[in-house]
Structure 1
Amino acid sequence: MTGTYIDPARAKMTVDQWCDEWLEGYGTRRASTVRKARVDLKRIRAKFGPVRLSAIRPSHVRAWTAELSALLAPSTVYATYRRFAQLMSDAVHDGLIPKSPCSRKTSPGQPKPRPYVATTAQVWALYDAFSPWLRSAVLLGAFAGLRTAEAVAVDTRDADFASGVITPSKQYPDEPLKSETSKTPIPIPSDLSLMLAASVREWCGEKLVTDMFGKPVGPWVVEREMRKVRAVITADPSRGLEPLPEGFRFHDLRHYYASLLIAAGLDIKTVQTRLRHASATTTLNIYGHMFPDKDESARAAVAAAFGARADSLRTQQAAETA
Structure 2
Amino acid sequence: MFDAMPDHLRPAILLGAFAGLRVSEAAALRVSDVDFMRGLIQPAMQYPAEPLKTEESRRAIPIPRELSLELAGFVERFGGEFVVTNEIGRQVSPWTIERAVRARRAGVDGLPDGFRFHDLRHFYASLLIGSGLDVKVVQARLRHKNATTTLRTYAHLWPDTDESARAAVAVVLAARADSLRTEGVF
- The residue number in structure 2 matching 1:140 is 15
Between the two proteins, the alignment pairs up a number of residues equal to: 185
Structure 1 residue 169 corresponds to structure 2 residue 36: no
Structure 1 residue 312 corresponds to structure 2 residue 179: yes
Q: CA deviation at 1:232?
A: 2.2
Cα distance between partner residues in 2 of 1:137 and 1:310: 56
- The one-letter code of the counterpart of 1:266 is L
Q: CA RMSD in A?
A: 1.0
Cα distance between partner residues in 1 of 2:95 and 2:169: 53
1:150 to 13, 25, 30: 25
Q: TM-score, normalised by structure 1?
A: 0.57
Structure 1 residue 225 corresponds to structure 2 residue 92: no
- The residue number in structure 1 matching 2:68 is 193
| Cα shift readout 1:219-255 (whole Å, capped 9, x = no counterpart) | 000011001110222xxxxxxx32x222210011000
Structure 1 residue 252 corresponds to structure 2 residue 137: no
Structure 1 residue 214 corresponds to structure 2 residue 75: no
| Cα shift readout 1:34-89 (whole Å, capped 9, x = no counterpart) | xxxxxxxxxxxxxxxxxxxxxxxxxxxxxxxxxxxxxxxxxxxxxxxxxxxxxxxx
1:182 to 50, 54, 57: 57
Cα distance between partner residues in 2 of 1:302 and 1:232: 49
Structure 1 residue 275 corresponds to structure 2 residue 142: yes
Structure 1 residue 263 corresponds to structure 2 residue 138: no
Cα distance between partner residues in 2 of 1:284 and 1:165: 25
Please state whether the residue corresponding to 2:18 is helix, strand or coil: helix
Query: Who wins on radius of gyration, i.e. which is larger?
Result: 1
| Gaps in structure 2 of 5+ consecutive residues | none
- The residue number in structure 2 matching 1:82 is none
Q: CA deviation at 1:296?
A: 1.1
- Percent of aligned positions that are identical: 58
Cα distance between partner residues in 2 of 1:227 and 1:188: 26
Q: How does 1:1-322 map to 2 (within 5 A)?
A: 126-233=1-108, 241-242=109-110, 244-317=111-184
Cα distance between partner residues in 1 of 2:86 and 2:12: 11
Please state whether the residue corresponding to 1:176 is helix, strand or coil: coil
